[in-house]
Structure 1
Amino acid sequence: MNDTRGSARRAGASPVVLITGCSSGIGRAVALRAVRAGFTTVATARRPETLADLEAAGCLVRALDVTDDESRRKVVAELEERFGGVDALVNNAGYGELGPFEEVPLDRWDRQFQTNVFGPVALAQLVLPGMRARGHGRIVNVSSLAGKIVLPVGAAYHASKFALEAAMEGLWLEVQRFGVDVSLVLPGAVNTKWAANVPEQQEYASGAYGDLVAELAREMAKRLPRGASVEYASSVVMRALTDPRPRLRYPVGLDAKLLLPVSRLVPGRLWSAWVRSHFPSMRRTPARAVEPPVRDGARR
């Protein structure tokens, strides 16, 4: 990225915000709020044909696959050329890879991290030189309560969100002196189509952890529809985007506001007991393990 180009902005131009994952849910709602608030709003998704209504509302829509380096560079380079840089980045694109730790293939772990961690990190690296050159900028990341607490059958997803939390907190510490603010928005349960984007889990149903998979599915079906609304979640993202003195973390929803402090204060065993109370199969006595064969000359 060219620093000098990023510093050449039109006088009085509206701030440019780049938002990922706008095909549905929180990303779509944030794009609509941003364009109505006067931002030059660049709404992106892997399939730009899903963004027709956002374009009609005044957004500039572009195809962007956050896992593809050429796609990332193309969009940021265009905004540098056309507007002189990106004032704010909202890393919203992401999904949840759910499945037992033992059985989720490594290529799915890789895809999870490419989308939830490396994509946001790469986009931040692309826009940061221009932000530093101008002496201001804002990077808002839609993380999750899953980046602070862990439930069974979600190791890959939780690990990606924990990694995003750590990466962006590290960035926050480094770039404050340049006038760049970094925030993490942590939704708990939100009433979106998030579960529809979870990869197929049927392959795990007949395995050793099939009971846990079924219990998690029931918990999600029960809790997500009762979660915070998309409109409320998007309003919190906009607060992080526009606060004069932005915070590092913004919880979304009653569950996030309650569980975040509890997870820090409650001992591990008590937290484990609370989790087990919601997953009956975790309370069962495990089957007796098969003893390993005894080597020659070894005593039992």
Structure 2
Amino acid sequence: MSSKNVIITGTSRGIGFELVKLFSELGHNVLALSRNAKPIEDLGIKNVSSFSFDLCNVDDYRNVERFVEENWNSVDILINNAGLLLNKPFSETTLKDFAKVYETNVYGVAELTRVVLPFMKKQGHVVTISSMGGIQGSMKFPGLAAYSSSKGAVITLSELLAEEYKATGPQFNVLALGAVQTEMLEEAFPGYEAPTSALEMAEYILDFSLTGNKYFNGKVLQVSNSTP
């Protein structure tokens, strides 16, 4: 398999951190984006680049454009993995709370995708990580009104983009994850032990991002073996 140019967000911990290591081990070039770039920088991997990136900072998107223009010229895979979780009773969730969650989980996904699209090939793949909480008819949990509804929004966004770009590519798909043992899960469900580790889920996402667009476009795959 020829090496790919891969952009991953939310790489300072959990699934994103594991994805960076997995892609680099296979010889792919990775741009790891997170507000905290130090965990990736400390790895010292030659085919991995990293700098501080905030989905809510407009200026940071220009840094991504500049990096691709100067180093790669094209992008094969974009994995929208970063997310912000808020666990708070709805009666206490303010307009600012909702705006903050949506700015990261929806607006940030939309803007980074828009910025990267001109560099993507016809057979490129945009994979957005959603949640089972964003799937209609799935189990819902109190306190996650802003988070789960934002995860539903990016599902519809991806379906729309798949339709809009179906003639030219790339392909857009969503993985709606169930419980994975990450810091974010601990924040949402303190003490809960998930049956799937961050590394195990990263291995699945790695394979899907490399091959899934041969079989799917504009689809949502539910990746869950538990509730939550």
Check 1:152–1:170 CA distance in 2 against 1; reply closer, same or farther (3 A cut): same
Q: What's the secondary structure of 2:143's corresponding residue? A: coil
Q: Residue deviations 1:131-151, cap 9 Å, x none? A: 2xx433110111111111332
Unaligned runs of 5+ in 1: 1-11, 199-216, 260-300
- Establish whether residue 255 from structure 1 lines up as the match of residue 226 from structure 2: yes
- Establish whether residue 142 from structure 1 lines up as the match of residue 129 from structure 2: yes
* Aligned equivalent of 1:154, options 124, 144, 151: 144
**Contact 2:128-2:175 at 8 Å conserved across structures:** yes
More divergent stretch after superposition (143-152 vs 115-124): 143-152
Cα distance, 1:92 vs. partner?
Answer: 0.6
2:76 & 2:93 partners in 1: Cα distance?
Answer: 38
Q: Residue deviations 1:187-219, cap 9 Å, x none? A: 1111111145x5xxxxxxxxxxxxxxxxxx7xx
Q: What's the secondary structure of 2:44's corresponding residue? A: helix
1:252 & 1:54 partners in 2: Cα distance?
Answer: 29
4+ residue runs over 6 A deviation: none
Q: Residue deviations 1:212-255, cap 9 Å, x none? A: xxxxx7xx2353x2331111210121122111624323332312
Please name the residue that 1:175 is paired with. 165
Q: TM-score normalized by structure 1?
A: 0.68
Q: What's the secondary structure of 2:82's corresponding residue? A: coil
Higher helix share: 1
Check 1:246–1:77 CA distance in 2 against 1; reply closer, same or farther (3 A cut): farther
Q: What's the secondary structure of 1:122's corresponding residue? A: helix
Cα distance, 1:75 vs. partner?
Answer: 1.5
* Aligned equivalent of 2:37, options 25, 34, 48: 48
Report matched runs for 1:214-233 at 5 Å. 220-223=189-192, 225-233=193-201
- Establish whether residue 235 from structure 1 lines up as the match of residue 225 from structure 2: no
Cα distance, 1:49 vs. partner?
Answer: 1.6
**Contact 1:147-1:161 at 8 Å conserved across structures:** yes
More divergent stretch after superposition (235-244 vs 156-165): 235-244
Q: What's the secondary structure of 2:85's corresponding residue? A: coil
Check 1:175–1:136 CA distance in 2 against 1; reply closer, same or farther (3 A cut): same
Q: TM-score normalized by structure 2?
A: 0.89
Identical counterparts, % of pairs: 28
Check 1:129–1:154 CA distance in 2 against 1; reply closer, same or farther (3 A cut): same
Unaligned runs of 5+ in 2: none
Check 1:177–1:166 CA distance in 2 against 1; reply closer, same or farther (3 A cut): same
**Contact 2:155-2:220 at 8 Å conserved across structures:** no
1:54 & 1:241 partners in 2: Cα distance?
Answer: 23
Higher CA-based Rg = 1
Higher relative contact order (CA 8 A, sep 6+): 2
- Establish whether residue 120 from structure 1 lines up as the match of residue 109 from structure 2: yes
1:40 & 1:89 partners in 2: Cα distance?
Answer: 12
Aligned-CA RMSD value: 2.1
* Aligned equivalent of 1:78, options 54, 67, 79: 67
2:19 & 2:220 partners in 1: Cα distance?
Answer: 17
